[in-house]
Amino acid sequence: MGAWGTGIFDDDTTCDVKDGFIDYIEEGLSSKKAATIILDEYLEEFHPEEDFEVMSLVHIGLAAVQLENNCLVEDVRHLAIQSIDRGADLELWEEADEADYLARKKELEELKQKLLEVG
């Protein structure tokens, strides 16, 4: 799992989530069904508590792509807000320089605000 920037889609996991979601939508699945499939795929490999950072990225990526496509599912919105409130992937950013950490934190807070506004 690699990250190359502080943006929401600047890492492998959220990019994979975004691409998978768009593929499922293009196949004709509903936003809710596409999200369920993606969550199930990740839950087969990762445990929500033990792999909190990875699952946070999945929740955040799903919410962000759904928000971009005006098809946000309430359960996904809730999971993303919950992940951001719990610190999401910020622990991984503690080893980065302070500017990157603060930039990532700002990205997450901005996404959270957008998610709260549509709720």
How many C-beta neighbours within 10 Å does residue 44 have?
A: 7
Q: What is the pLDDT along the chain (119 residues), one digit of tens a residue?
A: 477 889 999 999 999 999 999 999 999 999 999 999 999 999 999 987 888 899 999 999 999 999 999 999 999 999 999 999 999 889 888 888 999 999 999 999 999 999 999 97
Cα gap 41→56, rounded to integer Å = 14
Residue 78 CA to residue 83 CA, distance in Å, equals 9
The pLDDT value given to residue 47: 85
Look up residue 57 and give its amino acid: L
Contact 34, 25 (CB under 8 A): yes
pTM of the full predicted structure? 0.92
